[in-house]
Structure 1
Amino acid sequence: MKYRTIGTDPRTRREVSVLALGAMLFGSVTDEKTSFAILVIATKLGARPLAPGTSYVDHAEGLSAKVIRESAERSRERLGTDRLDVLYAHIEDPKVHVRETVEGFAALVDEGTVGVLGVSNHAVWRVERARALAAAAGLPGYEVLQYAHSHLRPRSDVPGDLFPDGSLGHAGPDLLGYLRDEPGLTLVAYSPLLKGAYTRPERLPSDYDHPGTPARLKVLHAVARETGATVDQVVLARQIGDALPVIPLVGVSSVAQLEENLAAVDLELTPEQRARLDAAH
């Protein structure tokens, strides 16, 4: 297995696998026996609905210091561990001042119950504000950014559930530019395989239905034929080999899918193949 260093703060820096496994469907779509056969652990907080019939959009628990501490404690209890290696702020909480959130997460790191701090589905300016406040106070801040990112690109004019500008969780040009300017950050790319849409086109989300998609798919399939790999393996290998620090976060529902994805770690794309994949419009 290949590894990548995440974090620049000596209090939190560590080596991690270049491929991460998402477990959102374990215990529901994926049965218990299969889940334990392929299990790895990750956790977030802040988006738990507070009442039946509500959602993370209209009635989430938020990112107050109290919620951060209590949610982290519940996660450790359920997972049977004294320490969470990575803890994410799942979605934004405009009702709580960012300083309270920063200090709430930092306290857990200082106590040794959390390792690396991460953030997901936040506007870039909010990420930067939180990191700046943490740096100014000498506190550990966000070092891992988790956003949707894949070979195909969504339309930018489709409104999202969280951001009116349509940037729901997607690693758009602003976020990717931010990563280039801040080399100490790592992007964990969730839904890199678009929930199976590369092999089952009927699953492709509607916001990917635009003129640029066929061209990018054509190059992807061509590179897959050249390498003898599957299209999913090419998508993952391109992210793993990116100049930006990207860790694909894959979700699987079988051991066979896990093995297919793990094989992407050893797939070496040529510079010419990577350039073609990137240049397709």
Structure 2
Amino acid sequence: MTSLTGTDIFELCLGGNTFGWTSDRDASFQVLDSFTAAGGNFIDTADSYSAWVEGNSGGESETIIGQWLAARGGRDDVVLATKVSQHPEFKGLSGSNVKAAAEASLRRLGTDHIDLYYAHFDDADTPLEETVGAFEELVAAGTIRAVGISNYSAARVREWFEIARREGFTLPVALQPHYNLVNRSDYESELDAVARTEDLAVVPYFSLAAGFLTGKYRTREDLEGAARAGMAGKYVSAEGIAVLETLDEIAHRHDVAIPTVALAWLRSRDQIAAPIASARTPEQLTALLAGARLELSAEDAEQLSRVSAGF
């Protein structure tokens, strides 16, 4: 297990992007209850989830998680990660915005601290020194326990570390990139080296490629009416289907579901601490939780690496 903020994290991070989107409050509570009952303790959200849904304004996921924590208790038993820069009211990473957004997240989550706080997307309009300094102020105030970086280029991650070291600030501990079997090159070309050099815990999002790596989207017809059709649809190709067929083969050999194998492959990669995966219902969690425990053989992992090499 990887330790973040002094707590060992479960090897699957529960994504909170469905909460307030495809999962209402009751369904979200059921998913959270099932995840923690199975030993899960690492939960990921963002202040912007799910502002893209008609009628939502952002913060819905944090609000539901906060309500669940209030109802269930046990705040110290979970490692809670959220992010700043994309909420409609708190765009960007200026010092004042980071502080205001963090305070708003604390209110929605009903907690006095955030375990892991990510800079969600780089902000080219704000000097990085200002952003790094703002995160340090939150650490010093006890508002956040650890710093994470998401969707930054390798060069900008290095720059963040240079600034933090020069100023004697807290170093980031986690990197959240877009990384999975059908989206490899962005991470592996440059970010992987930074993660190794700085010993960052890598927590990939879209671990199941917006549902494609569950195996349920194999034709254009399968995508019709799906909430994530636009994201998953780009993988419906001969190359993508070849990856699914290999997952099918390995899943059958281990008597597990396809997403279990896709998550296990990610966990077999260096620096990966916990892939993020979300579940709309508790039933969907079963295969995801199994992915936190399945250990692929070197041969299985290499077979998947070969078939997905073009991605």
Q: What TM-score, normalized to structure 2?
A: 0.74
1:79 CA displacement: 0.6
2-structure distance, mates of 1:259, 1:213: 24
Amino acid at match of 1:217: L
Secondary structure at the residue paired with 1:38?
Answer: helix
1:130 aligns with 2:160: yes
Please, which of 190, 194, 210 is the counterpart of residue 209 of structure 2? 194
For 2:113, the equivalent position in structure 1 comes to 83
2-structure distance, mates of 1:130, 1:13: 23
Amino acid at match of 1:5: S
Secondary structure at the residue paired with 1:74?
Answer: helix
Please say which of residues 117-126 and 200-209 is displaced more in the overlay. 200-209
Moved over 6 A (4+): none
Secondary structure at the residue paired with 1:15?
Answer: strand
Amino acid at match of 1:222: E
Given that 2:176 and 2:205 are in contact with CA atoms closer than 8 Å, whether structure 1 keeps it comes out as yes
For 1:160, the equivalent position in structure 2 comes to none
Please, which of 25, 50, 62 is the counterpart of residue 32 of structure 1? 25
1:46 aligns with 2:61: no
Please, which of 207, 223, 233 is the counterpart of residue 250 of structure 2? 223
The 5 A counterparts of 1:224-263 are 224-263=251-290
Aligned residues: 250
Given that 1:106 and 1:141 are in contact with CA atoms closer than 8 Å, whether structure 2 keeps it comes out as no
Residues 1:172 and 1:49: Cα distance change in structure 2 (over 3 Å): farther
2-structure distance, mates of 1:13, 1:88: 17
For 1:181, the equivalent position in structure 2 comes to 197
2-structure distance, mates of 1:44, 1:35: 19
Given that 1:22 and 1:42 are in contact with CA atoms closer than 8 Å, whether structure 2 keeps it comes out as no
1:38 CA displacement: 2.0
For 1:159, the equivalent position in structure 2 comes to none
Amino acid at match of 1:171: Y
1:261 CA displacement: 0.8
Secondary structure at the residue paired with 2:91?
Answer: coil
1:243 CA displacement: 2.5
Secondary structure at the residue paired with 2:162?
Answer: helix
Greater per-residue helix proportion: 2
1:119 aligns with 2:146: no
1:61 aligns with 2:91: yes
Identity %: 30
1-structure distance, mates of 2:87, 2:266: 30
Q: Which runs of 5 or more structure 2 residues have no equivalent in the other structure?
A: 33-42, 44-79, 218-222, 224-228
Given that 2:212 and 2:235 are in contact with CA atoms closer than 8 Å, whether structure 1 keeps it comes out as no
Given that 1:153 and 1:213 are in contact with CA atoms closer than 8 Å, whether structure 2 keeps it comes out as no
1:171 CA displacement: 2.5
Q: CA-to-partner distance for each residue in 1:55-85, whole Å, 9 max, x for gaps?
A: xxxxx61101111111111111111101100
The 5 A counterparts of 1:205-220 are 205-208=232-235, 212-220=239-247
Q: What TM-score, normalized to structure 1?
A: 0.82
Given that 2:259 and 2:288 are in contact with CA atoms closer than 8 Å, whether structure 1 keeps it comes out as yes
1-structure distance, mates of 2:235, 2:193: 21
1:245 CA displacement: 2.6
Q: Which runs of 5 or more structure 1 residues have no equivalent in the other structure?
A: 7-11, 51-59, 157-169
Secondary structure at the residue paired with 2:275?
Answer: strand
1-structure distance, mates of 2:258, 2:179: 16
Secondary structure at the residue paired with 2:274?
Answer: strand
1:139 aligns with 2:166: no
Given that 2:115 and 2:144 are in contact with CA atoms closer than 8 Å, whether structure 1 keeps it comes out as yes
Given that 2:210 and 2:232 are in contact with CA atoms closer than 8 Å, whether structure 1 keeps it comes out as no
Given that 2:2 and 2:273 are in contact with CA atoms closer than 8 Å, whether structure 1 keeps it comes out as no
Residues 1:228 and 1:189: Cα distance change in structure 2 (over 3 Å): same
